[in-house]
Copies of this chain bind each other. A is one copy, B any other.
Amino acid sequence: MVVTLKDVAQAANLSVASVSRILTNRGRYSETTAKRVREIAREMGYFKNQSAADLASKKSRAVGVVVPLIHTNFADEIIKGLYEATVASGYELLITYLDDNEAHQTQVFNTLLTRQVGAVFLLSLDIPAWMMAQLTTQSIPIISLTTILNEHISAVTSNEFIVMDTLVDHLVSKGHTNIALIGDTKLTTNISSVRRRNFIESMKQHQLTTENAFFYGNDHSYETGYQSVTEGYDINALPFTAAIATADLVGVGIVNAMNDANKSIPNSLSVVTIDGLQLTEMSRPQLTTIQQNFAEIGRIAMNLFIENSIDQQQQIIYVPTKLIERDSVLDIK
């Protein structure tokens, strides 16, 4: 049988109330008895039943993390960040995965709500409107990571415009004028259309027109990168001299496709990527990239919640990014 508070209380000749207070370090008690009780509890192998505790105190120590099931190599990093901040505070991470199956979505969503999570962290995820509505009516704070969803939801993210502008600026400074955005460039989601807009805007600010801008792809996959130069354009006569990959994986796809066609990078094409995970160092040539600090994004988001600063109004926190110059950009000036 499982050891309960009552058992411990009996063994210690105390009331459950006192034992509870001691074991949760709440309220008043003498340090002498406290010591004794803690010892007894340990010996008996007592473990609090968190469900009972949550129920009685009408609160939960769990926060939900919703991760898209499609390939996102940075989810790991973010979760680590969240986790770090969480360990210190005693909160629990309830990590759930979301795919396209609506039945699954409902269920995921249900576990979150039935566990009375204190907050929901969305990882680069645009959840269906009905979910959003539910969350809000239950007044569960939502924090979006790596992307700004709308004007109500708080977010911790890199500054998307700066990310794009830094890259464009870097390429322009090396003499490039015809630039492609490759990866997730579709107009149907919030996230990708923002990037697309930022790209155009940044081009403009560099005195370049939409004639200088090229787009390819609907997702952040390796295949999209690969196909961009093999199927999307004539690899022997690319209309652009540089490409911005919306994710590292896309960049590697481009590099491999070029290599496989005996075209050298950066001589035949310059490539830069967004994200800057380990992959960019493992590529040959190593990729110039703008690195996002994912772990930091996770840490900050969690602390934002813990410090309860995330109450009513929206907060947007930008986490700095860093341009890392490596060997995938040719100076053609």
Interface magnitude class on chain A:
35 or more
Rounded to whole Å, the gap between the CB of A133 and the closest CB of chain B is 10
Binds B, one of A113-121, A192-200, A239-247, A312-320: A113-121
Total identical chains:
2
Taking a contact as CB atoms under 8 Å apart, the answer to whether B111 and A47 are in contact is no
Q: Write the A167-193 contact mask toward B (1 if CB under 8 angstroms, else 0).
A: 000000000000000000000000000
Taking a contact as CB atoms under 8 Å apart, the answer to whether A51 and B92 are in contact is no
Binds B, one of A52-60, A152-160, A205-213, A302-310: A52-60
* Contacts A55-B49, A115-B50, A278-B222 given; does A94 touch B97 at CB 8 Å: no
* Contacts A80-B97, A94-B94, A95-B95 given; does A134 touch B284 at CB 8 Å: no
Taking a contact as CB atoms under 8 Å apart, the answer to whether B50 and A134 are in contact is no
Q: Which residue of B lies closest to A87 (CB)?
A: B104
Alpha-carbon gap, A280 to B96, bound state (A): 28
Alpha-carbon gap, A48 to B138, bound state (A): 13
Instruction: Point out the residue from B54, B55, B69, B259 that lies within 8 Å of A284, measured CB to CB.
Output: B259
Q: Write the A93-107 contact mask toward B (1 if CB under 8 angstroms, else 0).
A: 111110000001001
In the complex, which residues of chain B have a beta carbon less than 8 angstroms from the beta carbon of A161? none
A90-B107, A222-B278, A256-B284 known; 8 other A-B pairs, CB under 8 Å?
A2-B116, A45-B138, A50-B115, A51-B51, A51-B52, A51-B115, A93-B95, A256-B282
Which residues on A are within 8 Å of B, measured CB to CB?
Answer: 2, 45, 47-55, 60, 69, 75-76, 79-80, 83, 87, 90, 92-97, 104, 107-108, 110-111, 113-116, 134, 137-138, 222, 252, 256, 259-260, 278, 282, 284
